[in-house]
Amino acid sequence: MTSLWTKRVNLWLYWDIFSSALMHVDESRELMERINDATLFKEFCINCMNKKEMVKYSSAEDFFEKSKREIEGKLIPFSELEWIDCERSLSFVANYIHAEYKIYANNNAPSLLDITLPEWSLDSDKAGVNYDGLILLIDYQCRVSSFNNIRSTLERLRNSWLRIQKKFGNPFWFSSTRYDAKYLADYQWVMSYFDKNKVINGNVDFWFEKNLNLKVHSIFDQWVENKSDAEGELFIIKTKKAWGQKKFRDSVANKKVLNTYISKDSKRQLDYLASQNEMKINELIEMLINDAYAKAKLKSWEN
């Protein structure tokens, strides 16, 4: 039994057993401190139940074990969550589950018992989505919403993700799996392109302020889920074309167009020189002009 499974079960037990019980702040804190330890948590729960006389027709331990078995049958098993195995799939699911959370929380301040907050799903540096936090948030939604609803939603998301991964595993010209500072301008441009083309869905939660790569792919994944393969592929082609046009415009921003005619032999010689020097024709022409200009200036100074 993993520590995350223990925490999942204990959090649900905490909610079920003590949701209607008046607890002191110290009691709640002590119980939460034991949430990762099955034995200590059980002992403290039983002591609390006996102290508050919460169980009338059976022993506190029997009641605890019965509640635990029932809860273990309500949790979505890890085997159904194995496909959530990378940052992109984590953020893909997190966007939907957090949207569900906000509907039921109604954006109110959480109570003492509402302990699985969206913040649990954030890494401390806001660079990605935390797996443990997401699973706890899924469990919370199963409690307050509907187990069958969340389970069917996750199955739908799984099928969508498998399609996205197969068809759009690496949709852009930069890596889909890691942030690279040298592509910062690229990420920022893609974000502005998304905004211009109304790609950003209102349900997307930007939980990764320091990881623009993940943000870009998270937005794209949620958008393309509801598009056909052809629509997604066409969008990527247009995005890459627009980026290429921008780079070209930037590269010629301080250049002038030169239209002229030269003989075929001169053009052939120009191509040969460019090939030998591993240069573009415009670069070669600029080099030849600069050399000729420098020689002319030198000659004028000598005279």
- Name the more confident of 113 and 295: 295
Residue 207 pLDDT: 59
The mean pLDDT of 149-168, rounded to a whole number, is: 95
Residue 24 pLDDT: 65
pLDDT per position as a tens digit, 129-139: 678 888 888 88
% of the chain with per-residue pLDDT over 70: 84
* Distance from C-alpha of 36 to C-alpha of 18, rounded to nearest angstrom: 17
Q: What are phi and psi of 270, to 5 degrees?
A: -65, -45
Place of tokens 């082609």: 237
* Distance from C-alpha of 94 to C-alpha of 134, rounded to nearest angstrom: 6
Other CB atoms within a 10 A radius of the CB of residue 169 amount to 10
pTM of the model: 0.73
Closest CA to 197 of 246, 248, 242: 242
- Name the more confident of 3 and 193: 193
pLDDT band at 44 (very low <50, low <70, confident <90, very high): confident
Residue 5 in contact with residue 35, Cβ under 8 Å? Answer: no
Contacts by residues 26-33 (CB-CB < 8 Å, ≥ 24 positions apart): 28/112, 32/115
Other CB atoms within a 10 A radius of the CB of residue 12 amount to 23
Closest CA to 81 of 32, 142, 170: 142
Residue 205 pLDDT: 62
* Distance from C-alpha of 77 to C-alpha of 261, rounded to nearest angstrom: 73
Residue 62 in contact with residue 103, Cβ under 8 Å? Answer: no
Residue-wise DSSP of 242-279? HHHHHHHHHHTTT---------HHHHHHHHHHHHHTT-
- Name the more confident of 105 and 152: 152
Tokens at residue 172, please? Answer: 């852009």
pLDDT of 172 over the 90 cut: yes
Closest CA to 21 of 60, 53, 44: 53
% of the chain with per-residue pLDDT over 90: 32
Tokens at residue 85, please? Answer: 């195995």
Residue 11 in contact with residue 141, Cβ under 8 Å? Answer: no
Distance of CA 250 to the CA centre of its chain: 30
pLDDT per position as a tens digit, 226-273: 999 999 999 999 999 999 999 888 877 777 777 888 899 989 998 999
Q: Strand pairing partners for 129?
A: 122
Q: Give the residue ranges of DSSP H helices in 114-254.
A: 131-144, 147-167, 184-196, 212-224, 229-251
pLDDT per position as a tens digit, 194-224: 999 999 876 666 556 678 898 899 999 999 9
* Distance from C-alpha of 129 to C-alpha of 214, rounded to nearest angstrom: 10
Q: How many residues does the chain have?
A: 303
